[in-house]
């Protein structure tokens, strides 16, 4: 895991915790980049998740979790 800055927003911490748990339970290796700025420093990215077969860019806006849907 690479941290730009540790997430301060509770929903981001909860998402990250659930993501790591889900990946581990499925035995999926992943690189997670969290809270980092793009090269131009004009945009902060919440999460970039990279596995052997996929890349996913995640931006959370008021994420309430599965039970909050």
Digit-by-digit pLDDT tens for the chain (69 residues) are 777 777 777 888 888 899 999 999 999 999 999 888 888 767 888 899 999 999 999 988 765 666 654
Residue 46 and residue 23: Cα distance in Å, rounded? 18
**pLDDT for residue 19:** 93
**pLDDT for residue 62:** 63
**pLDDT for residue 52:** 94
> Residues 37-40: contacts with CB within 8 Å, 24+ apart?
37/4
């Amino acid at each position: 895991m690479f941290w730009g800055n540790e997430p301060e927003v509770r929903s981001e911490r909860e998402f990250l915790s659930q993501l790591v748990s889900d990946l581990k339970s499925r035995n999926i290796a992943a690189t997670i980049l969290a809270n980092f700025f793009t090269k131009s420093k004009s945009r902060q990215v919440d999460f970039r998740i990279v596995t052997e077969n996929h890349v996913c860019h995640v931006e959370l806006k008021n994420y309430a979790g599965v039970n909050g849907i």
